[in-house]
Amino acid sequence: MPAWFLLLEPEPLPAAENMARDETLFHLCHEKKCGFLRLYAWEKPTFSIGVSQKVERALDLEFIRRNGCEFVRRLTGGKAVLHNVEITYAVASSEDLFFKEHDLHQSYMLISRVLVQAIRSLGVDATLSKGSAVELSHSHNPCFSFPTPHEIEVQGKKLVGSAQKRDKEALLQHGSIPLAMDYDLYAGGANFAAEMLQKSMTTWGDISPCGPDELKDVLVRGFRDFVGADLVQIAFSPEDLARVAELREKYSSDAWNLAH
């Protein structure tokens, strides 16, 4: 049986649906040794926050609602992200290549290296960040306001923001690759300065003439080469979608999104 699977979502999806689908893949990896690469987009501009963030510090909910955006708390860590015009990736796996002699930081670095090599294959000089001062990483600043170790930069600006959830059996890592950015919207929803975001981050549209389909293709090829196997393209089964529906209720609820 194939061990690695590819899910290419044909249409943008609501925030709660996207997070429910990622968590479902994480649970499936607990049931057998397997891995998934999922590429997707968002139906509305959405602010996501890390699982341990305090929403009242990380986001301006009044601004977000007034501007017709969604917000959701992720299962993973990290800081506030605006998902708008972007490619979002998710990797869920229980395969040994992420667990044998590797901890969270090492597996995070492995995935980041795959992303860097894929991006570089399109002629973009991407590198792995060496990170910022500890006080920045412990702040309430948004994700793209500073580079953390092993994230992807281009010319000193952050291009990809990622976060991981991991236990002893499986991991889920997902991340945002902005194709373009509304800096005023991101700044307003994340309690930050637009000009500071413009100094700290970049977008795919700013650095490459290649389109999103080309970027998706090299991401798929990069992960295929990394795992040494074909990624069998699938869709969620009816049984999986029933799990998704249960988790969608969680990610739609104030009990989850406004916790902490």
Q: CA 63, CA 101: separation in Å to the nearest integer?
A: 45
Q: Name residue, tokens 């002699």.
A: 101
pLDDT digit string, tens, across residues 227-246: 999 999 999 999 999 999 99
Q: CA 241, CA 104: separation in Å to the nearest integer?
A: 28
pLDDT of residue 131: 67
Tokens of 34: 């397997």
Q: What percent of the chain has pLDDT over 90?
A: 83
| pLDDT (mean) for 12-24 | 98
Coil, helix or strand for 51? coil
pLDDT of residue 209: 97
Looking at the predicted structure, is the pLDDT value of residue 138 above 60? no
Q: CA 82, CA 183: separation in Å to the nearest integer?
A: 9
| pLDDT (mean) for 194-220 | 96
Average pLDDT, the chain: 93
pTM above 0.85, yes or no: yes
Q: CA 80, CA 186: separation in Å to the nearest integer?
A: 9
pLDDT of residue 244: 98
Looking at the predicted structure, is the pLDDT value of residue 135 above 50? no
pLDDT of residue 254: 96
pLDDT of residue 203: 98
Task: To the nearest 10°, report the CA torsion of 215, 105, 130, 120.
Answer: -20
- DSSP secondary structure code for residue 186 in this structure: H
| pLDDT (mean) for 199-215 | 97
Count other C-beta atoms under 10 Å from residue 13's C-beta: 18
pLDDT of residue 162: 93
- DSSP secondary structure code for residue 260 in this structure: -
- pLDDT band for position 1 (50/70/90)? low
Domains and CATH numbers, the chain: 4-121+160-178+211-257 (3.30.930.10)
pLDDT of residue 11: 97
pLDDT digit string, tens, across residues 65-102: 999 999 999 999 999 999 999 999 999 999 988 887 66
Tokens of 196: 């500071």
Distinct helix (H) and strand (E) counts, the chain: 11, 12
- pLDDT band for position 45 (50/70/90)? very high
Looking at the predicted structure, is the pLDDT value of residue 137 above 70? no
Count other C-beta atoms under 10 Å from residue 152's C-beta: 24
Q: For residue 62, which amino acid is it? A: E
pLDDT digit string, tens, across residues 50-62: 999 999 999 999 9
| pLDDT (mean) for 15-33 | 97
Q: CA 61, CA 246: separation in Å to the nearest integer?
A: 25
Catalytic hit among 29, 34, 69, 143: 143
Task: Look up 29 and say whether it is catalytic.
Answer: no
Tokens of 163: 């976060």
